[in-house]
Amino acid sequence: MKLNRREVVLVSFLCLALAGAAFYLLFWQPLAAERAVLEHRLRVLTRTLDRLAPWETKEAELKTRIADIKEQIHVTTAARELGIPLPEFLVMLENAARATFVSLESTSIAVGDIGAVTTLQLTGTYHDLYRLLMLLEAQDEVLVLETLRFAGGAEGLTASLQVRLFSGAVIGEPKVGGFPERSPFVPRRN
């Protein structure tokens, strides 16, 4: 099969176009993508260097700041291992009451040898009080519900709740004793 001059020129242009497309897809496009990634990394590193440049001559100040931060982390960790601080518990309690639309009427605290007993007077609907109890039960710290009393009223339910907060609570550890499936808050199904 002999090709005429016009067909040879067209086949040559087709081969050239295919070679150009293959060069672009297999070589140029991956290089362009890699170049874009490298340029982005270069911009990020340049911004980081510009931000850190003023600190280059302040090595001693940085070392003291790092030492202070490490000490603060150590003190905070030691305090958390002793248990949840009482003010933090009260803030958490107020936030939980606010989130569940429960009115926290009064709070009394008695600190003993094995923890603090907090007595709470709450008012709200049954659903809101139930949600507050679920929030308290979901805490990582060791909280034990000692007493719970409900009384109905014209404005809704009034609850008297007594919670013991143990001072030996370790954050992230499961609650000591009890089984979640035997929770007093979980309704029994027959």
**Higher-pLDDT residue of 76, 186:** 76
- d(CA 162, CA 118) in angstroms, rounded, equals 6
Of residues 115 and 97, which shows the higher confidence score? 97
C-alpha span between 40 and 53 (Å, rounded): 20
Give the per-residue pLDDT at 180: 45
Amino acid at the residue 133: L
CB 158 within 8 Å of CB 135? no
- Which of the pair, 46 or 182, is modelled with greater confidence? 46
On whether the CB atoms of residues 118 and 165 are closer than 8 A, the answer is yes
Most confident of the following: 5-19, 76-90, 166-180: 5-19
pLDDT of the residue at 18: 95
- The per-residue pLDDT for 15 is 95
Q: And the tokens for 108?
A: 């009394």
The pLDDT of residue 81: 56
| 48, two tokens | 């980081």
- Read off the amino acid at residue 36: A
Report residue 125 as tokens.
């609907």
Separation CA 127–CA 100 (nearest Å): 9
Q: Where are the beta strands (DSSP E) in 19-114?
A: 103-112
- Tokens 């081969």 belong to residue: 15
Domains and CATH numbers, the chain: 5-78 (no CATH), 83-182 (3.30.70.60)
- Cβ(109)–Cβ(69) under 8 Å? no
pLDDT in tens, 156-180: 788 888 887 764 443 333 444 444 4
Highest mean pLDDT among 60-64, 73-77, 84-88, 111-115 belongs to 60-64
Q: How confident is the model at residue 96 (pLDDT cuts 50, 70, 90)?
A: confident
Helix axes 126-137, 86-99, angle to 10 degrees: 140
User: In whole angstroms, how far apart are CA 139 and each of 7, 27, 132, 163?
Assistant: 81, 56, 11, 12
What's the mean per-residue pLDDT of the chain? 78
**pLDDT confidence bin for 17, thresholds 50/70/90:** very high
Q: For the segment 51-70, what is each residue's pLDDT rounded down to a tens digit? A: 888 888 888 888 898 999 99
Q: Quote the CA–CA distance of 147 and 143 in Å, as a whole number.
A: 12
pLDDT for the residue 41: 94
Q: How far is Cα of residue 127 from the mean position of the Cα atoms in its chain?
A: 26
